[in-house]
Amino acid sequence: MRNNPPLFNSGSPEWISLEIVKLKTHTVSLFIFVFVVIGVLLGYYLVGGIFSSPFTKITYAQTKNTEMQVNVETKFPARTAIEYGTSSAYVNSIPITNTFKKTHSGQVAGLLPGADHTFRIVAYDSAGRAYYSDFYEVK
């Protein structure tokens, strides 16, 4: 029977030194990886809202009992629409602008007299992605 030499000499001081160097290298790599991930997540948390919403300004006013004026400004050229109804289950959607621009103005007609209405703005970028505003209520 032939004696095979061990793959490593676990009793030698050189082996221990090499393993310690490997362990330090892996620890440093893991440390860097963890901090990069934490940095990316923290960065997204701190500025994610800035990049996710294209709306810089939304104003609205009820002009008549059954009509409302809506003005919207977006960070980039977009097409916009208003989704509205008497609850957050929107039953109506009308375009504000069909062309790509940053300033949008539209009139909503046909509101039910005496009823509360909820609406939100939808902006579409040139790639067709939709961005939704917060919900607004008109009383």
Residue spans per domain, the chain: 10-52, 54-138
Q: What is the pLDDT of residues 48-99, one digit of tens each?
A: 555 568 899 999 988 888 899 999 999 999 999 999 988 777 678 888 988 9
CATH of domain 54-138: 2.60.40.10
DSSP string for 15-32: HHHHHHHHHHHHHHHHHH
Q: What is the pLDDT of residues 2-50, one digit of tens each?
A: 666 555 555 667 777 888 888 888 888 888 888 888 888 877 766 655 5
The span from the CA of 35 to the CA of 41, in Å, is: 10
Cα dihedral angle (99, 102, 107, 108), rounded to 10 degrees?
Answer: 90
CA 39-40-41 angle, 5° bins: 95
pLDDT at 59: 92
The span from the CA of 118 to the CA of 132, in Å, is: 14
The span from the CA of 98 to the CA of 84, in Å, is: 18
pLDDT at 110: 86
C-alpha distances out from residue 86 to 65, 90, 109, 138, Å: 14, 7, 14, 9
pLDDT at 124 > cutoff 60: yes
pLDDT at 52: 66
Helix/strand/coil for 48: helix
**90 in Cβ contact with 83 (< 8 Å):** yes
The span from the CA of 80 to the CA of 107, in Å, is: 13
Question: At a CB cut-off of 8 Å and minimum separation 6, what does 3 contact?
Answer: none
pLDDT at 99: 92
